[in-house]
Structure 1
Amino acid sequence: MIAAPRIDESSPYYRGWRVVLACFLMAFFMFGFGLYGQGVYLAELQRAHGWPGTLISAASTFSFLLTSVLVIFTDDLLERIGLRALILCGLSALGASTVLLALVQTPWQLYLAYALMSVGWTGMGTVVIATVLNSWFEQRRGLALSLAFNGATCGGIILVPLLLSLTGSIGFRPAMLTATLAMMVLVLPAVVTFIGWPAGMVPAAGGRSSGSSAPVRSRKAVLANAAFWTMVLPIALALLAQMGFIVHQVTFLEPLIGRSAAGLAVTIMAAMAIVGRLSLGLFVDRLDARLACAVSMTSQAAALFVALQSTSPTVLLACCAVYGFSMGNIITFPPLIIQREIGASAFATAVGLGTSISGIVSAFGPGLVGLVRSLTGNYTTAFALCVVLNLVAAGIVLWRPRRRLQDSHTLSPSP
């Protein structure tokens, strides 16, 4: 019997790194247009059409909730139409969404654009990115996920300022059309050229396979697994607190340190998210993912706690840096925990369900923080609640249920 050759995932010539590049570009434009760009759309559509902010904000909420429902079925779509076709559908939907946002004239067109954006999230979002990279990497999976998901943060740092600059010089409509064209020119060739399953892998399994079809676990079985819930619940609570802080960060900091320093704090936090992902990616494959996740959540709680005690610009900026260092890693841990504890045969199913649940829960973060602030008149109680949520989440994620949804042939052992 001839032993299978060992795959050197650290080699720059390994095809998986080209897949990472394609996933980076997907995350860059999906998060840039689909998340960080929504503030631009709100301002420009209000200016162009005089629509109330509540109408446009409701469209954003509708899109996020629809996305949280659609991602549940990612595993079914991967099996039925295939990986590349799903991504191309997502890319087409996102392109149609941004073009329609540039040309929109009526509210129903606005909601159609945001519905198409939800389809884009389904084809190009975190579930698909995590699933395809899970199939290409074993020893360097954490690094691959960190590099690809850094595209999300870069989308906010680069694409949004670019949209604002173009809007100021040539107008909103030409800016959106130009950015959409750039997305197609960059992402389409990368997807067509690089994206695919590794040779010999069973696509439905979502992980490496030696050839025979492994049974794909049902959603009911995943939901009955304790390891799934001790991962999903803390991630949902941490993202609930995180979304609340991100949205209210400038409003909290501006009276303390001024508008320009508050803007600098946002930039520092986003930059540190990139640094944090890259730093963790170098070591996470050798770490206990649950312990590292708990440390990240605890560090965010500590940063918020210190920020509530200080009015010093230096201390507050440092707190935002510490908070940002762990911010991007919160969505990196779930795929690693799922792969290790639930298994490759249920990977896409579990990631889809987890993303849906955490997405729905975290969507209430900004509203919850805003409500507590309105009731108390300040952010002290609201952010103290976020501190508690982070600490509770850290405690839950450290609980390791004995029952596992793993089978012996979902993933071949590393040679």
Structure 2
Amino acid sequence: MPNRFAGWSVVWVAFTVAAFAWGIGFYGPGVFLQTLHASKGWSIATISAAITTHFLVGAAIVVYLPEAHRAIGIARATMIGAVLTAAGIVAWSMTLSPWQLFGAAFISGGGWALTSGAAINAMIAPWFDRDRPMAISHAFNGASIGGVVFTPLLVSMIDGIGFPATALVVGLAMVIVVAPLAHRYLRQGPEDLGLAPDGQALDRARPRPESEARLPRAALMRTRAFVTVSTAFALALFAQVGLLSHLLSRLSPVLGTTAAAAAMSLTTISAVAGRLLLGWLIGDRDRRYAACANFLVQSIGVVLLCVTNSPLLLLVGCVLFGLGVGNVAAIPALIAQMEFRAVDVGTVVALVIATNQAVFALAPAALGAIRDASTNYTLSFAIAAVIEVAAAVTVLAGRQRRR
């Protein structure tokens, strides 16, 4: 019986890292917002601004993540990210005044950068070429599972033992789980085992992609492919992150806090389904069309979340919105794989993710300010729906004629 391809072990490690990274660093801030607003009375706009800082710090670091990986290795960078994420959530829980939130955001933002989208892609890319869509799909499902598990878990634990104790338990759990896995599975690439991507035998006579000259960042960023991908996904993630940061607060008055947390979990369960469908169906099909359809389905869900207070229709809105949540993180890397040279894909993905984070970092604060000014979420969510449609149009604008 042939040995199991080690790349799939890396996929499951990436899945686990993504579960903690998104559970704490992506879905967690929405819980922090609700908790701090309810317990301390701080304004939603102020807490949202701290969440924005969290994502901006992540964006600044992600730009240089490829260099960090080359300098200290993916394994060590991931372990540092786990420690920073743990320290960050503890710092969020221990704040005594609003200004301290911004110091906590610097720590948690560093952890988010080292364990989120660009890092997950860097773990997977050396191991897979032909099977990369399926591998990326499975790995990023950890992000959705993180939302399914951590949102209700954080809400329940905070209600039971308080925010500081919850943060300490969850942060320690991430370090204890992620650090050994990273040390065991992320220190080697396929070439160290005499393998090429997808488990093929390594042809040592063939030049490795890493031996080619990398294009400068400025040259990559001027291409039409990069501009349209980064713009489209920055718009989509602005809408998505803004909504996820405020979704618990939007649903709680109608459904109650516990049911609202369950609805958040339903959103992320739907993200798992949407990402699995993407991995199974996309094949060699045009990935920009897939992105466009993804954004339009999400926009329909956002409209429902905007216009109704019917519990049933709100749940339908969560499902439709959720179907696309996971794919927004996964599709940029798949488009980059098709439209850029292999040696440049890592840099392109890091730049796209950094651009996305720099834009969507503004979303929690922007939607929070609009909510405070209008006293409800109708206008905020309506703007998000329009942005999703704009993203769908933008991603198609960069479509190239295929041979």
Structure 2-normalised TM-score? 0.83
Instruction: Specify the alignment match of 1:17 in structure 2.
Output: 8
Larger CA deviation: 18-27 vs 101-110: 101-110
Deviation at 1:46, TM superposition (A): 7.2
Report if aligned partners of 1:301, 1:391 keep a CA contact under 8 Å in 2: yes
State how far apart, in whole Å, the 2-side matches of 1:155 and 1:194 are.
21
What does 1:109-120 align with in structure 2 at a 5 Å threshold? 111-120=102-111
Instruction: Specify the alignment match of 2:186 in structure 1.
Output: 195
* Structure 1 residues 164 and 115, CA gap change in structure 2 (3 angstroms): same
Instruction: Specify the alignment match of 1:274 in structure 2.
Output: 272
Q: Does 1:216 align with 2:214?
A: yes
State how far apart, in whole Å, the 1-side matches of 2:237 and 2:13 are.
26
State how far apart, in whole Å, the 2-side matches of 1:121 and 1:226 are.
28
Instruction: Specify the alignment match of 1:163 in structure 2.
Output: 154
Instruction: Specify the alignment match of 2:298 in structure 1.
Output: 300
Percent of aligned pairs sharing the same letter? 33
What does 1:4-403 align with in structure 2 at a 5 Å threshold? 13-42=4-33, 56-101=47-92, 111-200=102-191, 210-211=207-208, 213-250=211-248, 252=250, 262-305=260-303, 312-370=310-368, 381-400=379-398
Larger CA deviation: 213-222 vs 239-248: 239-248
* Structure 1 residues 282 and 107, CA gap change in structure 2 (3 angstroms): same
Count of aligned pairs: 390
Deviation at 1:154, TM superposition (A): 1.9
Matched residue type, 2:147: G
Report if aligned partners of 1:301, 1:390 keep a CA contact under 8 Å in 2: yes
Deviation at 1:90, TM superposition (A): 1.7
Report if aligned partners of 1:136, 1:197 keep a CA contact under 8 Å in 2: no
Matched residue type, 1:33: I
Give secondary structure in 2 for the equivalent of 1:285: coil
State how far apart, in whole Å, the 2-side matches of 1:49 and 1:299 are.
37
Structure 1's unaligned 5+ residue stretches are 1-10, 405-415
Residue deviations 1:7-53 (CA, integer Å, cap 9, x gap): xxxx9921111111111111111222223223444566678888776
State how far apart, in whole Å, the 2-side matches of 1:387 and 1:116 are.
31
Deviation at 1:394, TM superposition (A): 1.2
Deviation at 1:297, TM superposition (A): 0.8
State how far apart, in whole Å, the 2-side matches of 1:46 and 1:225 are.
43
State how far apart, in whole Å, the 2-side matches of 1:167 and 1:20 are.
31
CA RMSD of the aligned region, Å? 3.5
* Structure 1 residues 266 and 165, CA gap change in structure 2 (3 angstroms): closer
Give secondary structure in 2 for the equivalent of 1:398: helix
Deviation at 1:256, TM superposition (A): 6.5
Larger Rg: 1
* Structure 1 residues 264 and 163, CA gap change in structure 2 (3 angstroms): closer
Larger CA deviation: 247-256 vs 382-391: 247-256
Give secondary structure in 2 for the equivalent of 1:287: coil
State how far apart, in whole Å, the 2-side matches of 1:39 and 1:371 are.
15
Structure 1-normalised TM-score? 0.81
* Structure 1 residues 166 and 310, CA gap change in structure 2 (3 angstroms): closer
Larger CA deviation: 353-362 vs 51-60: 51-60
State how far apart, in whole Å, the 2-side matches of 1:350 and 1:324 are.
26
Structure 2's unaligned 5+ residue stretches are none
Matched residue type, 2:21: M
Report if aligned partners of 1:137, 1:144 keep a CA contact under 8 Å in 2: yes
Residue deviations 1:75-108 (CA, integer Å, cap 9, x gap): 1212222222222222232233344456666778
Residue deviations 1:352-384 (CA, integer Å, cap 9, x gap): 211121112222334444555666676555444
Report if aligned partners of 2:44, 2:368 keep a CA contact under 8 Å in 1: no
Larger CA deviation: 220-229 vs 263-272: 263-272
Deviation at 1:235, TM superposition (A): 0.8
* Structure 1 residues 85 and 266, CA gap change in structure 2 (3 angstroms): closer
Report if aligned partners of 2:288, 2:335 keep a CA contact under 8 Å in 1: yes
Give secondary structure in 1 for the equivalent of 2:190: coil
Matched residue type, 2:24: F
Report if aligned partners of 2:137, 2:276 keep a CA contact under 8 Å in 1: yes
